[in-house]
Amino acid sequence: MRIIDVHNHFYPPEYIDAIRSGESIITVKTDSDGNPEIHYPGDFNTAVPGHRDIAYRQEVLERTGVDTQIITLTTPGTHVESPAVAAKYASLVNDAFAKIVADRSPRFAAMATLPLNDPVASVREFRRATEQLELPGAMLFSNVNGIALADQRYWPLYEVANDKGAVLHIHPTNPKDVSQLTDFWLMPLVGFLFDTTVAAAHLVFSGVAERYPNIKWVLGHLGGGIPVLAERLDRGYRAFKECRANISRPPSEYLRTWYYDCVNFDRDALMLGIAFAGADHLMAASDYPHAIGSLELMKSSISGLSIADADKAKIFGGNAARVYGLA
């Protein structure tokens, strides 16, 4: 049974060196264990070896029995920089990812990162990443410096992605208003899931999902609250004319065609995801190597589901192989 992890994160060493150089709003410190601490407005990440050493990471995957990881850049993304620096760093990251794939496939595949604060440059880099570097799509953040993904400035990107039938994987970031999320790690524990839910609902109600039906949308963390709240979105569609202005069907009909990564290790939650979208639309995911992620829990939570072995095989890797075009 092939295991493909579609949600995990990597900082290419070239990227860490670049932000250390000073041409960045990000500050890099060093913790007591010698790990880089990547500080950006409102948060920071500690880049442990799994975040930045691809050989070490491959050894971990071999030990844990994970066949393939589809790597992405983690927060803060390049869009926190000035537009020119964002474009430069996005290209640097994508080139580094493409080299990892070329050197270490099929252990690794990758999704492009984009300079999302410059929509025109994002289209240009998306074309380069998918056409020249042959990446299957891009990871988007759930908002871009407070701007919604549904904003029409991003529709040219969606048009290109739709033409290619590409994957767009939505990863959460800080909600625009974080005033109530500063204690107890509520930002990643609650705020991220909230922002994913808002982004998905906005993309549907705005008409993006209907206008660009060939995009393979993937939502992180089991879609945040989407499997629970889809019925409420449908009620909004029936109750409010604004919720019908841009779409011809209830929101759940679009959202059931999307894909949901399994960075939620509760089996009941996963069963709810299956009940909502079907086993054909869930994909194994770990959030490795973040402290809140786990390759082991990814595997055990899916293994323990009360579903047919054939459906487990789809969730572990079959769906991702199809969606991301992995041989």
The pLDDT tens digits of the residues spanning 211-268 come to 999 999 999 999 999 999 999 999 999 999 999 999 999 999 999 999 999 999 999 9
Tokens for 45?
């990440």
pLDDT digits (tens, 9 = 90+) for 99-134: 999 999 999 999 999 999 999 999 999 999 999 999
Furthest CA-CA distance within the chain: 57
Tokens for 77?
């993304």
Question: Looking at residue 327, what is its pLDDT?
Answer: 79
pTM attached to this predicted model: 0.95
- CATH class name, domain 4-323: alpha beta
**Residue among 124, 134, 24 at smallest CA distance from 77:** 24
Say how far apart CA 140 and CA 220 lie, in whole Å: 10
Question: Of all helices (H) and strands (E), which one includes residue 251?
Answer: helix 251-255
In the chain, where are the structural domains located? 4-323
Say how far apart CA 111 and CA 94 lie, in whole Å: 8
Nearest-5° angle of CA 129, CA 132, CA 135?
45
